[in-house]
Chains A and B, each alone.
Chain A
Amino acid sequence: MTRSHLQKLEDESIHIMREVVAQAERPAMLYSIGKDSSVMLHLAMKAFYPAKPPFPLVHVDTTWKFREMIQFRDNTAKDLGLELLVHTNPEGVAEGIGPFSHGSEHHTRVMKTEALKQALDKYQFDAVFGGARRDEEKSRAKERVFSFRDKHHRWDPKNQRPELWGLYNAYKHKGESIRVFPLSNWTELDIWQYIYQENIPIVPLYLAEERPVVERDGTLIMVDDERMPLQADEQAQMRRVRFRTLGCYPLTGAIESQASTIPMIIEEMLLSTSSERQGRVIDNDANASMEQKKQEGYF
């Protein structure tokens, strides 16, 4: 009996995670609470069973995440008995940085990219797992599984180590770090099929429900708290929506949907004609914008 494609992906991800733990001095998992993080965490539970994953979860909290995400995050860490480290950029908070007042680009740079660098410097992590997949975006398609960052957390696409077989070269100089992507070869469809097959808990925001939203520039934004300023002619409407990706609520577009179960999500996805990153406001800034952000230190 040959292993199915999901089993093979699972074998590969587990192998990657164990290589990191065996070679890194201070590993951590960047836990973003989304579906990919849920799958990555589930794989970590498998990779180190019966031990607990031997590293903490790190969440970079921009203070603008959906409330349900934060609740899910805290419950998950508690239920699994894992250490959770939450970091927020204190300067960003002091300056009152937010997506409404400062725009998506500035907000993302200060509260996400800068905050992430602060967290990594603070805890001196030398290897950090991320849930990015190569099928998400064109510049991700060329990223290594072990992706090196210099002292300033920068990625140099022209100077990547060749990665052959399963022989990952984790040697690095002091101050350098590695981002590791165990889900590199998974697709969005694989992620959903695996969540369904393994019965992995996910944030309920992925499932369709009546939620208060306003429509701005063709994007449905959920009114998750009172910080969202409404224009004079705007009024939150209850619509049956769900999210294909999760991030800061003001930057995450909802889609109208009836899909209230995982099989329905998969069904909807197979019939869908738009990619999951479409709901992300930050990717549309410029053509190669993801590549630029990564060179600056974005995950």
Chain B
Amino acid sequence: MFTTDALPAQTDIDDYLKSQNNKSLLRFLTCGSVDDGKSTLIGRLLYESKMIYDDQLSALHKDSKKFGTTGEGLDFALLVDGLSAEREQGITIDVAYRYFSTDKRKFIVIDTPGHEQYTRNMATGASHADLAVVMIDARKGVLPQTKRHSYIAHLLGIKHIVLAVNKMDLVEYSEARFSEIWQDYLAFAESLNVENIHAIPLSALQGDNLVTASSNMPWYEGPSLMSYLETVQINAATQSLPFTMPIQWVNRPNLDFRGFTGRVASGNLHPGDAISILPSNRHATVERIVTYDGDLTEAQAGQSITCVLTEEIDVSRGDVFVTQDSHCHVSDEFTAEILWMSEKPFIPGRQYLLRQGTTHALCTPSKPTYRVNIHSLVHEAAEDLSLNEIGCCEILLNRAIAFAPYRTNPGLGSFILIDRATNATVAAGFIQSSESHLANVKSQPLLVDKQARSGIKPHKPAILWLTGLFCAGKSTIANLVELKMNQQGIHTMLLDGDNIRRGLNRDLGFSEANRVENIRRIAEVADLMSEAGLICLVSFISPFAAERQMARTLIGDEQFVEIYVKTPLEVAEQRDTEGLYKKARAGVIEDFTGINSPYEEPESPELIIDTTELSPEESAQVIINYLKQKGITY
């Protein structure tokens, strides 16, 4: 049964320390609805394992009187609810980590909030856990929240679930009630395919079946929660897979040593093993596995190592070492489920930064092929995803990377998406497969290419992207530039925002999602124009930095000339003869740039044209001169 970390015998501390060196580590997640008693359960586990010191206990006595919700008794939840905002509201709003250990194991408790809006926090916690304790209030039984949490645990690949049926003291320790809940839960959990589910009836407040067997529930013959956690076997499935390791950092202290560092994602590695380096698929042999404590004869999943190869091969951060029988794919597209974690909604077609393994790439997720209804687990049609929603998308990358399905190799199957403007982590992703609808649409090789087309023209192809407020003067300037170039015999094309919106983009409105799609189409069309060898002028408000960046990435830096037509809002409003600004200010028009939708100024455009200082004619000349200076025109 459970004993605390108290010493076996005063004399033999050395033996004690030796036994402690071989302790294993279990990371478990606790989740459940708001009042299920999670914090109480954790506070009590810490208390019972003697992890609470006297000074903390006296602070607890003080706090219990001030904030406590348990009347006269100690409120164990206060040991766990750290941030003062939480203490005031009496809820847990963020992931908190707690630590305790017994003779058998060290435990890391990951406490996650129960509120629906904090799904992202639960997912964050679950990504670090081997096991999930799902709490249920015995009076309430299986709630939608229970299913939601179990689904997220399953989505994150947790293979062990403990169903902790709490507050048994409030249902008279009824075996019938416990069985009813257990049957309800099993009926639901079958569809999740969780490897190992175990149910324990307990009372966190009274201490029943928490550490010691409860005399109130003689009908329950299983272990207490603590002894279950101490003994449950967690076999890392990644150990038995072929070897994979993303390279973190190249260690080159001098010319004689070149080591490739990383943390083994799956499998084992030995000196002499033949490996492949992805995504380039070159081959090499492991010469040594170097550590500070001496060379290793074997490295296993989870271990941080430094690897030296026999061959001189150029390897950099982001490459992946695999054994030749590995289960990795190399592709620039895959299908993945994503959990959206940002207040700003997910916009299909927008470009995000993807971080996976130790690599990163630019990516464009498609419109969701479905959204998971987290109440019924049914797949529904969806246009976008908002905070805490889970959906499936096809993801296109700007280059091929090495990956594996999340189910078999979480290390190479997980990714996060980062907003390029704010650098915020906006989504967590789970790679399903390398299949995507574009897999069968391969690009056709063409006999005449861009170079050949532009070769018969007296200028190089380029895209002049004019961005700025409505009525800033973009179209006026673009028209003058085109006129001048046309007179010089330069082959041009002008894409004007208003004109395109009447034709190609007539199906699009002015919501953020539609603006993104508007720009995506323009960028694609402009790219085709440059493929044809033309100088293409684009005159679009294009208010979002992310979309201009997307266009730049698609078209390529050397051909993309971003021109910021800079005009103060007051001046643009004065120039507005159609009265659209007035309507926007009156609230008649929604999502109007500069009034009720933001304009994000370009940070480093190729040109800035200040229309309060230059006339349209002078502005056009600045652009013409720039093109000559850059050798685009002669």
> A: which residues have CB within 8 A of B?
2-12, 14-15, 18-19, 21-22, 45-52, 134-135, 138-142, 157-158, 160-167, 169, 171-173, 184-185, 187, 189-190, 193, 196-197, 263-264, 266-267, 270-275, 278, 287-288, 291
A196 CA to B14 CA, complexed, in Å: 10
Chain A residues lying within 8 Å of B226, measured Cβ to Cβ, are: none
A273–B7 CB distance below 8 A: no
**Complex: A10 Cα to B263 Cα, angstroms:** 11
Asked if residues B291 and A171 are in contact (CB atoms below 8 Å), the reply is: no
Task: Give the residue of A3, A45, A267, A288 whose beta carbon is less than 8 angstroms from that of B303.
Answer: A3
Given contacts A4-B22, A167-B414, A169-B423, could you give 9 more A-B pairs where the C-beta distance is less than 8 Å?
Answer: A9-B25, A46-B292, A46-B293, A49-B290, A49-B292, A135-B99, A163-B425, A167-B355, A169-B425
Where chain B touches its partner, the secondary structure class is: mixed
What is the 8 Å Cβ interface bit string for chain B, positions 418-435, against chain A (1 contact, 0 not)?
A: 100001110010000000
Q: Which residues of B contact A142 (CB under 8 A)?
A: 82-83, 94-97
**Nearest Cβ in chain A — how far from B31, in angstroms?**
16
- B55 touching A274 by the CB < 8 A rule? yes
CB nearest to A278 among chain B residues: B55
Can you show 29 pairs from A to B with CB atoms below 8 A apart? Answer: A5-B23, A6-B21, A11-B302, A11-B304, A22-B248, A22-B317, A45-B292, A46-B293, A47-B304, A51-B251, A51-B252, A135-B99, A160-B94, A161-B425, A162-B123, A164-B414, A165-B128, A165-B410, A165-B414, A166-B263, A169-B416, A169-B418, A171-B423, A190-B106, A263-B13, A266-B17, A267-B10, A275-B56, A288-B87
Nearest CB on A from B277, distance (A):
17
Given A142-B94, A274-B55, A49 and B5 contact (CB-CB distance below 8 Å):
no
Chain A minimum-CB-distance residue to B5: A270
Q: Which of B14, B292, B300 has the most CB of A within 10 A?
A: B292
CB-contact partner of B358 in A22, A49, A264, under 8 A = A22
B→A interface (CB under 8 Å): 5-7, 10, 13-14, 17, 20-25, 53-56, 59, 63, 79-85, 87, 94-99, 101, 105-106, 108, 120-121, 123-124, 127-128, 236, 248-249, 251-253, 257, 259, 261-263, 290-293, 300, 302-304, 306, 317, 341, 353, 355-356, 358, 410-411, 414-416, 418, 423-425, 428
Q: Closest CB-CB distance, A38 to chain B, in whole Å?
A: 15
Give chain B residues whose Cβ lies under 8 Å from the Cβ of A45.
292
In the complex the two chains form, what is the Cα distance from A11 to B423 in whole Å? 27
Q: Are A2 and B24 in contact (CB under 8 A)?
A: yes
CA distance A52 to B252 in the complex (A): 10
Contact among B20, B63, B127, B355 for A193, CB-based, below 8 A:
B20
Q: Contacts A134-B99, A189-B5 hold; do A164 and B23 have CB atoms under 8 A apart? A: no
Known: A5-B24, A15-B304, A171-B418. A157 touches B83 (CB 8 A): yes
CB < 8 Å neighbour of A18 from B25, B248, B257: B248
Task: State the Cβ distance, A203 to closest chain B Cβ, in Å.
Answer: 21
The answer to whether A48 and B251 have CB atoms under 8 Å apart is yes
Bound Cα distance from A171 to B422, whole angstroms: 9
Which chain A residue has the least Cβ–Cβ distance from B52? A275
The chain A residue sitting closest to B14, CB to CB, is: A263
Provide the bound-state CA to CA distance between A9 and B21, in Å.
12
- Chain A residues near B82: list those with CB within 8 A: 138-142, 291
- Docked-complex contact A267 and B7, CB < 8 angstroms: yes
CA–CA, A161 and B94, complex, Å: 11
Assess whether A18 is in contact with B249, with CB atoms less than 8 Å apart. yes
The complex places the Cα of A49 from the Cα of B249 at a distance, in Å, of 12
Contact B55 A158 (CB under 8 A): no
Task: List chain B residues, Cβ under 8 A from A263.
Answer: 13-14, 17
A273 vs B22: C-alpha distance in the bound complex, in angstroms? Answer: 25
**C-alpha gap A185/B97 in the complex (Å):** 8
Q: When the two chains form their complex, are residues B94 and A4 in contact, meaning their CB atoms are under 8 A apart?
A: no
Contact of A172 among B55, B355, B423 (CB under 8 A): B423
Chain A residues in 8 Å Cβ range of B249: 18, 21-22
- Assess whether B25 is in contact with A5, with CB atoms less than 8 Å apart: yes
Q: Chain B residues with Cβ under 8 A from A161's Cβ?
A: 424-425
Whether the Cβ atoms of B56 and A141 lie closer than 8 Å is no
Measured in the bound complex, the distance between the Cα atoms of B14 and A286 in whole Å is: 40
**A46/B418 in contact, CB under 8 A:** no
Q: Contact check: which of B24, B84, B292, B428 meets A162 at CB < 8 Å? A: B428
Contact between A173 and B423 (Cβ–Cβ < 8 Å)?
yes
CB distance from A18 to the nearest CB of B (A): 4
B residues less than 8 Å from A288 (CB atoms): 83-84, 87
Rounded to whole angstroms, the CA-CA distance of A185 and B128 in the bound complex is 11
For A264, the chain B residues whose CB sits under 8 A away are: 13
Residues of A within 8 A of B341 (CB): 162
Q: Please judge, given known A-B contacts A273-B54, A288-B84, whether A196 and B303 are in contact too, CB under 8 Å.
A: no
Q: Do the beta carbons of B410 and A3 come within 8 Å of each other?
A: no
Q: Once the chains bind, are B101 and A187 in contact (CB under 8 Å)?
A: yes
CB-CB under 8 A from A12, the residues of chain B are: 304
Known interface pairs A185-B97, A267-B7; A193-B21 also in contact (CB < 8 Å): yes
* Shortest Cβ distance from B128 into A: residue: A165
| Closest chain B CB from A138 CB (angstroms) | 4
A49 near B291: Cβ-Cβ < 8 Å: yes
Contacts of B303 in A (CB 8 A): 3, 7, 11
In the assembled complex, the CB of A247 is this many whole angstroms from the nearest CB of chain B, namely: 17
User: What distance in Å separates the Cβ of B19 from its nearest Cβ neighbour in chain A?
Assistant: 11
Task: Name the residue on A nearest B303 (C-beta).
Answer: A11
- Does the CB pair A18–B261 fall under 8 Å? yes
Nearest to B20 among chain A residues (CB) is A193
8 Å CB contact of A50 from B108, B124, B253 = B253
Contacts of A169 in B (CB 8 A): 355, 416, 418, 423, 425
Bound complex: CA A158 to CA B343 (Å): 13
Task: Please give, as numbers and ranges, the residues of chain A lying within 8 Å of B263 by CB-CB distance.
Answer: 11, 14-15, 166
CB-nearest residue of chain B to A46: B292
The answer on a CB contact under 8 Å between B304 and A49 is no
CB-CB under 8 A from B291, the residues of chain A are 46, 49
Instruction: Give chain B nearest CB distance to A166 CB in angstroms.
Output: 7
| Residues from chain A with Cβ under 8 Å of B97 in the complex | 134, 141-142, 184-185
Which residues of B lie under 8 Å from residue A157 when comparing CB positions?
83, 85, 94
Which residues of A have CB within 8 Å of B124? 162-164
Q: Nearest CB to that of B318 among chain A residues?
A: A22
| 10 residue pairs, one from A and one from B, having the closest CB atoms | A138-B82, A51-B253, A5-B25, A14-B304, A288-B84, A46-B292, A49-B292, A275-B53, A171-B423, A164-B127
Given contacts A3-B303, A139-B83, contact A50 B23 (CB under 8 A): no
**Complex Cα spacing A237 to B83, Å:** 41
Pick the most buried of A5, A9, A47, A160: most chain B CB atoms within 10 A of its CB: A5
Asked whether B306 lies within 8 Å of A141 as measured between CB atoms, the reply is: no
Smallest distance from the beta carbon of B39 to chain A beta carbons, Å?
Answer: 12
Q: Give bound CA distance, A277 to B222, whole Å.
A: 39
Residue in A5, A10, A270, A272 whose CB lies within 8 Å of B304 = A10
A275 touching B55 by the CB < 8 A rule? yes
Shortest Cβ distance from B566 into chain A, in angstroms? 22
Q: Counting chain A CB atoms within 10 Å of each CB, which of B23, B94, B262, B341 scores highest?
A: B94
